[in-house]
Structure 1
Amino acid sequence: MTDSLIAIVPAAGVGQRATRAGESGPPKQYRLIAGQPMLRHAVQALLADARIAQVRVAVSADDGWAAEALAGLPRTVCRPCGGPTRAETVAAALADSGAADDDWVLVHDAARPGLPAGALARLIDACLFDAVGGLLALPVADTVKSQRRLDTGTSRGQSAAQALMPVGDGTSDNGVPSDSSTHAEPRVRATLDREGLWLAQTPQMFRAGLLRTALASAQSAGVAVTDEASAIEAAGYTPLLVPGSLRNFKVTWPDDFELMGTWL
């Protein structure tokens, strides 16, 4: 069946940014939101569309939480094939799946448990008859700033910290930062034009053969791959941008768990 759909959920990371200093516990995908592990919510969101034949969760070889987190879910397979990076995990999960080149693969973040069924259906409907595939994304609504490098804009003989630190704000009389302020805060370099900018989400949906080739080519060329679409772009293709959902935000910081809990 050339239009078979499988989903891959890379879940081999630990999510350090989601942990406050001094906290301990399981990786972030296993932390509870609304009484269930976040990973379980993410998988259930994919299972909501009957067109997805199987969800394959790729975890690290020493994972001790996945079996319990996913217990009882239909059409779900957990495989200890995770690698050190997202791209390597997805490539390994693709190889492990045995998917034919013409099969469709949807890659979804374990940290996006709020994926609405409607957004998932939009993506599948849009990509099934497209030559490349695409991803869920949202147009940028906020004003976007770029950060000034800390080693630019300094005068001769002046450190970056001195150049960026206002006099009278954590500095001594000669402009050198005092003990109470040992580093400069980031400062704006410029305001960017947000026209045409989108925030990438997941799932991202491509043919298995195309995605395999794109990931391998990116790795050989040393291209930084932050999501599947970036590998496809590096191979010369232009993925579809399919409107996503605010509910489909990525749980990244400690406060995000409480916010996601209000949706779930």
Structure 2
Amino acid sequence: MNLIPLPEFWAVIPAAGVGARMRADRPKQYLRLGERTVLEHTLGCFLGHPTLKGLVVCLAEDDPWWPGLACAGDPRIARVAGGCERADSVLNGLLHLLELGADEHDWVLVHDAARPNLSREDLDLLLGELAEDPVGGLLAVPARDTLKRVGKDGRVRETVDRSVIWQAYTPQMFRLGALHRSLADARVSRVAITDEASALEWAGQAPRLVEGRADNLKITRPEDLEWLRQRWGLGSGD
């Protein structure tokens, strides 16, 4: 059992996306999941944690839904403008933390706005496992199904060894200074960054994978939201 005290941390939530594949009248983070929105559930896991130092949510500048949320007035939450891409939003959030006086050695956890089923157990596991790690890392899940590499014609080219393939989840946990430098340098070099770990990888680091729960899914399509409603015992459309 890990007896190392859980470290203090900042959280950054990029939430400027529109989620077009949900085919909804608003961004997916503002869809209802019971009595609260998806985003409120996502933030709740962090706001309820005793070692949270503060949280930055990165939103579209013309976002009309955020002010109506009960948590919008929470003094622990800072709102900053999101960017065109996820990496731009995260970089804006990190810059805000540095402006607040956060230390570059502080831990920062970046989490998807549309991933509301993060368990406290997984959050504590990540914090505990990486507390003294020199690089940081992320929650991930080993691939379960047989994987195929396909050609442009849609036909199988080979079967991929799934034992070395993991699905990257969030939160992803890195030192503030290292993550900021990696993202900023990647932007200058016009390198495509898909998640925070890929920025550290591009900078020559090897993030650690921490196996988490597979139900920490990211809501991408309508059936994902319906699956969570059923899992949580909610009615359709709640």
- With normalisation by structure 2, the TM-score equals 0.88
- Given that residues 56 and 80 in structure 2 are in contact (C-alpha distance below 8 angstroms), is that contact kept between their aligned partners in structure 1? no
The one-letter code sitting in structure 2 at the alignment partner of 1:136 is L
1:34 match = 34
- Given that residues 80 and 92 in structure 2 are in contact (C-alpha distance below 8 angstroms), is that contact kept between their aligned partners in structure 1? no
Alpha-carbon distance in structure 2 between the residues aligned to 1:26 and 1:70: 18
3-state SS in 1 of match to 2:71: coil
Q: Residues 70 and 197 of structure 1: is their aligned pair in 2 closer, same or farther, counting only changes over 3 Å? A: farther
- Given that residues 80 and 93 in structure 2 are in contact (C-alpha distance below 8 angstroms), is that contact kept between their aligned partners in structure 1? no
* 2:175 corresponds to 1:207: yes
- Given that residues 107 and 175 in structure 2 are in contact (C-alpha distance below 8 angstroms), is that contact kept between their aligned partners in structure 1? yes
Percent identity over the alignment is 41
Alpha-carbon distance in structure 2 between the residues aligned to 1:252 and 1:200: 15
1:128 match = 131
Post-superposition shift, 1:76? 3.7
Q: 1:191 aligns with which of 146, 159, 169?
A: 159
State the Cα deviation string for residues 54-104 of structure 1 (Å, max 9, x = none): 121110111111122343675541413100000000001111122220111
State the Cα deviation string for residues 116-140 of structure 1 (Å, max 9, x = none): 1000000001111111111000011
Alpha-carbon distance in structure 1 between the residues aligned to 2:160 and 2:230: 32
- Given that residues 12 and 55 in structure 2 are in contact (C-alpha distance below 8 angstroms), is that contact kept between their aligned partners in structure 1? yes
Q: 1:246 aligns with which of 189, 214, 217?
A: 214
The one-letter code sitting in structure 1 at the alignment partner of 2:84 is P
* 2:112 corresponds to 1:109: yes
The one-letter code sitting in structure 2 at the alignment partner of 1:143 is T
Q: Would you identify which runs of 4 or more consecutive aligned residues in structure 1 move more than 6 Å?
A: none
2:3 match = none
Alpha-carbon distance in structure 1 between the residues aligned to 2:72 and 2:201: 37
Post-superposition shift, 1:187? 3.3
1:171 match = none
1:13 match = 17
Which one has the bigger helix percentage? Answer: 2
Post-superposition shift, 1:263? 3.3
Alpha-carbon distance in structure 2 between the residues aligned to 1:124 and 1:49: 11
Root-mean-square deviation (Å): 1.6
- Given that residues 10 and 90 in structure 1 are in contact (C-alpha distance below 8 angstroms), is that contact kept between their aligned partners in structure 2? yes
- In structure 1, the gaps of 5 or more residues are 151-185
* 2:223 corresponds to 1:255: yes
Alpha-carbon distance in structure 2 between the residues aligned to 1:71 and 1:237: 36
State the Cα deviation string for residues 103-156 of structure 1 (Å, max 9, x = none): 110000011000010000000011111111110000111111122213xxxxxx
Q: Residues 197 and 209 of structure 1: is their aligned pair in 2 closer, same or farther, counting only changes over 3 Å? A: same
The one-letter code sitting in structure 2 at the alignment partner of 1:5 is F
- In structure 2, the gaps of 5 or more residues are 1-6, 233-238
The one-letter code sitting in structure 2 at the alignment partner of 1:110 is A
1:216 match = 184
